[in-house]
Structure 1
Amino acid sequence: MIGRLPLDEQLATLKSVLSRNEVLLEVLDRTASMALPGWYVTAGCLFQTIWNVVTDRLPTSGIKDYDVFYFDNGDLSWEAEDAVIKAGEEVFAGLPAEVEIRNEARVHLWYEQKFGVACAPYSSTEAAIDSFAATTCCLGVRLEPAGRWRVYAPHGLSDVFNLVVRPNPVLAPRDVYESKSARWRQQWPELTVLDWPTRVAAQ
């Protein structure tokens, strides 16, 4: 079990597993060339690659898109974010996958309208990753100078390698967690999905 390995060996195993997804490696390389502030490749393309490798599927199986988060609070206009998205369309042209780029400094401007709950402004890309519906999914990777991998995994790596989906009730509503986990179970029936916690009423 990866959770029983020393931390440096866990990170080496993570890199080895993710490197089986050649599309992901290309996304990392091309994103690094954009020099976006505070960027990470994150979300499904990472944890689903791990699930695929652990369950002996093709590394890219079932991965809908590749998410790139960055953080630029110097200009919160849609026009500024859209300019980055359009630049990304050129950078990622020819890849056999969709790459979705988002400025996490702007999330609070649209989150409530989309999900029905307010979202306080994030202070960093890491803070945005912290708010994913499942702690299992809180994972980000980026390339730093000399090709070094920077890994952000605030809840560790044990759950994702052990195919456990654990709720993270800090922002996303319960129905978002349950709809996502149900969709994941259809693709990866080996997953163990833990229930959303029920609040204990005050005495």
Structure 2
Amino acid sequence: MIGRLPLDEQLAALKSVLSQNETLLEVLDRTSSLALPGWYVTAGCLFQTVWNVVTDRLPTNGIKDYDVFYFDDSDLSWEAEDAVIRAGKEVFVGLPAEVEIRNEARVHLWYEQKFGVACAPYTATEAAIDCFAATTCCLGVRLEPGGRWRVYAPHGLSDVFNLVVRPNPVLAPRVVYETKAARWRQQWPELSVLDWSSSPSR
């Protein structure tokens, strides 16, 4: 079982598994050409690729979109972020998937209106990844110069490979976690979804 391997072997397995998703590889390659500060491809396209491969589904099964996070606090205007989004649309043209680019330096400006809780300004892309509703989601990958993979996984990889969804109550409300987990379980019934009450208190 991959989730019980030493971490260095899990990292090698992660690259091997994610490489089965050709769309993901193309997103990584094209995103690197944008040279965005502190960027990662993150969230569902990563852990859902793992779930698909582990459960013998097509690697792209059920993946709605591919999230690209970056961090640029030099200009917090919507116009600056929109310029990056529009540049991305040109780079990702022809891909059989939607790619969503977001500047994580701006999240605090809209998060409370959307989710009902305040979000302190992030200091880096990694800080944003730390705040996903489930620890399983806290995963980011980018290509470094020379094609080396940089993997950010603050909670490790065991839950991802073991199909465990664990709450991460640092920011997102309980309803966000439970809504996402219910949707994922419909698509991947093999998942073990832990109750919100199983997490440490906020």
**TM-score in terms of structure 2 length:** 0.97
Q: Is the contact between residue 2 and residue 157 of structure 1 (CA under 8 Å) also seen in structure 2?
A: no
**How does 1:151-190 map onto structure 2 within 5 Å?**
151-190=151-190
For 1:84, the equivalent position in structure 2 comes to 84
- 198 and 56 in structure 1: CA distance in 2 versus 1, 3 angstrom threshold: closer
**Equivalent-residue separation in structure 2 for 1:183 and 1:6 (angstroms):** 31
For 1:75, the equivalent position in structure 2 comes to 75
- Number of matched residues? 201
For 1:115, the equivalent position in structure 2 comes to 115
**Equivalent-residue separation in structure 1 for 2:60 and 2:136 (angstroms):** 19
Q: Is the contact between residue 71 and residue 104 of structure 1 (CA under 8 Å) also seen in structure 2?
A: yes
RMSD, aligned α-carbons: 1.4
User: 5+ residue gaps in structure 1?
Assistant: none
Deviation per residue, 1:84-118 (Å, 9 max, x gap): 00000000000000000000000000000000000
Deviation per residue, 1:58-88 (Å, 9 max, x gap): 0000000000000000000000000000000
**Equivalent-residue separation in structure 1 for 2:116 and 2:110 (angstroms):** 10
For 1:51, the equivalent position in structure 2 comes to 51
**Equivalent-residue separation in structure 2 for 1:9 and 1:177 (angstroms):** 29
Q: Confirm whether residue 65 of structure 1 aligns to residue 71 of structure 2.
A: no
For 1:33, the equivalent position in structure 2 comes to 33
**How does 1:1-16 map onto structure 2 within 5 Å?**
1-16=1-16
Q: Is the contact between residue 69 and residue 102 of structure 1 (CA under 8 Å) also seen in structure 2?
A: yes
Deviation of 1:198 (Å): 6.9
Moved over 6 A (4+): 198-201
Range with greater deviation from structure 2 (100-109 or 1-10): 1-10
**TM-score in terms of structure 1 length:** 0.97
**Equivalent-residue separation in structure 2 for 1:177 and 1:144 (angstroms):** 32
Question: What is the letter of the counterpart of residue 162 of structure 1?
Answer: N
**Equivalent-residue separation in structure 2 for 1:192 and 1:49 (angstroms):** 17
Identical amino acids, percent of aligned pairs: 88
Question: What is the letter of the counterpart of residue 85 of structure 1?
Answer: I
**Equivalent-residue separation in structure 1 for 2:52 and 2:110 (angstroms):** 32
Q: Per the alignment, in what secondary structure is the counterpart of residue 67 of structure 2?
A: strand
Q: Per the alignment, in what secondary structure is the counterpart of residue 196 of structure 2?
A: coil
Deviation of 1:4 (Å): 2.6
